[in-house]
Amino acid sequence: MKALLIRYGELALKGQNRPFFEDTLVRNIKKRLSDFDSVTVKKEQGRIFVENLSEQYFDEAIERLKRVFGIVGITICEVAEKNLEEIKQVAEVVTKNELEKGKKTFKVETKRADKKFELKSPEVSKLIGAHILKKFAGVYGLCVDVHNPDFILNIEIREKVYVYSSEEKGIGGMPLGTGGRAHLLLSGGIDSPVAGFMIAKRGVEIEAIHFYSFPYTGEKAKEKVIDLCKVLAKYTDKIKLYIVPFTEIQLSIYENCDERYLTIIMRRFMMRIAQKIAMQNGGLALITGESIGQVASQTMESLFCTQAAVSMPVFRPLIGMDKEEIIKLAKRIGTYDISILPYEDCCTVFVPKHPKTRPKLEEVLAEESKLKAEELIEKAVTNTEWMVIRDR
């Protein structure tokens, strides 16, 4: 019989709160595998096991689990009863799989979680190692290397015995749902989806807010953002997306304010609208894809003016990253190819020729006072549409 052994990392450091994080991870795993019949998910002393899963679905299950935050490793293991002869048999199966990949050296590591088992860990390792060496040394040229082996034969003795070698890496982080909720200002560009991913990886449930400037941005721009949410939902299971009508606000800024301040004032309106939506929907923070100095609206002075528009914390996980680092991560999570599609978002509408790169807050506020800000914000929030985008 085979099972999937799931290993997690920093959850183990959570002390008295550890059960909460473990139970949340178990729930997330069950949800991700819910369409597989009869599958069971259980936790046991620092490990999670997926059992009763048909072997034909192992590859698909592993691919899904690699996108579950909190998991650092996934392994297909052979399961045996606590009987030395049966352990030897399943150890042979695991070893042969590795030998057929061309590996030549090994060592055995045993973890005896069940202290009632009659043999101690070093004894089990010695007996199984000797058996494997005798079985395969002549045929495959297998030998022991305790310092730098080609593979490690792992044996974990629990309610049952789990034997495994190679491991698929998980995405790490914290289980989604353990870190509260935050709202992502999602454009159609490269940066903001990556920022949302990075905060979600810390266990934060994210909802997305997109500012839509019809007719200056068309349906293709909206579809692009929906497609980005579909990719993010592969990691978060689902995302609630708010579509905010932003045209009237942009036109009002363009017609009444000094052109040099257009971008900063626009960003301040976005932040204020996002804060209202977040507060109405249980959000505790905002998320942006800003990086210091990347564009005019992301100088230190500009960020200060933008931040001053809201009282809610603003998370900027990309703040110290350069563009190449962000692009690399966007490609890894699968958002890059969508982000570079040539459909403009509202941030590219009414771009000033000579934006103010070192704005002073008092100057920005003076320009902003020319607008009926609260009326415009309230109207935009009232007319906001939303949808829920799910992974499956």
Both 70 and 190 in a single domain?
A: no
Name the residue range of residue 233's domain: 181-390
- pLDDT tens string 103-137: 999 999 999 999 999 999 999 999 999 999 999 98
How many domains is the chain partitioned into structurally? 2
Both 147 and 281 in a single domain?
A: no
Answer yes or no: is pLDDT of 348 > 70: no
Under 8 Å between Cβ of 225 and 214: no
**Could you tell me the pTM of the whole model?**
0.91
Q: Would you say residue 175 lies in a domain?
A: no
Find the CATH number of the domain harbouring 321. 3.40.50.620
Instruction: For tokens 């998320």, name the residue.
Output: 287
Both 194 and 243 in a single domain?
A: yes
Specify the pLDDT at position 11: 77
185 labelled binding-site residue: yes
183 labelled binding-site residue: no
- pLDDT tens string 200-216: 999 999 999 999 988 87
Both 164 and 188 in a single domain?
A: no
56 labelled binding-site residue: no
267 labelled binding-site residue: yes
Q: Which of 169, 204, 234 is the last residue of a domain?
A: 169
Both 134 and 206 in a single domain?
A: no
Both 52 and 153 in a single domain?
A: yes
As a whole number of Å, the CA-based R_g of the chain is 27
What tokens were used for 103?
Answer: 């590996």
86 bridge partner residues: none
Rounded to whole angstroms, the Cα distance separating 82 from 203 reads 37
Reading phi first (left if > 0) and then psi (alpha if -120 to 50, else beta), residue 7 is in beta
Report which of 231, 239, 244, 262 is spatially closest to residue 339, judged by C-alpha positions: 231
Cα dihedral 391, 323, 302, 383, rounded to 10, equals -20
Both 188 and 335 in a single domain?
A: yes
25 labelled binding-site residue: no
Both 12 and 157 in a single domain?
A: yes
Q: Would you say residue 174 lies in a domain?
A: no
Both 336 and 226 in a single domain?
A: yes
Q: Would you say residue 246 lies in a domain?
A: yes
What does the pLDDT average to over 256-282?
Answer: 95
Share of the chain above pLDDT 90, in %: 82
Specify the pLDDT at position 349: 62
Q: Which of 136, 169, 202 is the last residue of a domain?
A: 169
251 labelled binding-site residue: no
32 labelled binding-site residue: no
Both 148 and 296 in a single domain?
A: no
Both 135 and 204 in a single domain?
A: no
Calculate the CA 335 to chain-centre distance: 12
Both 164 and 189 in a single domain?
A: no
Report which of 325, 315, 261 is spatially closest to residue 289, judged by C-alpha positions: 315
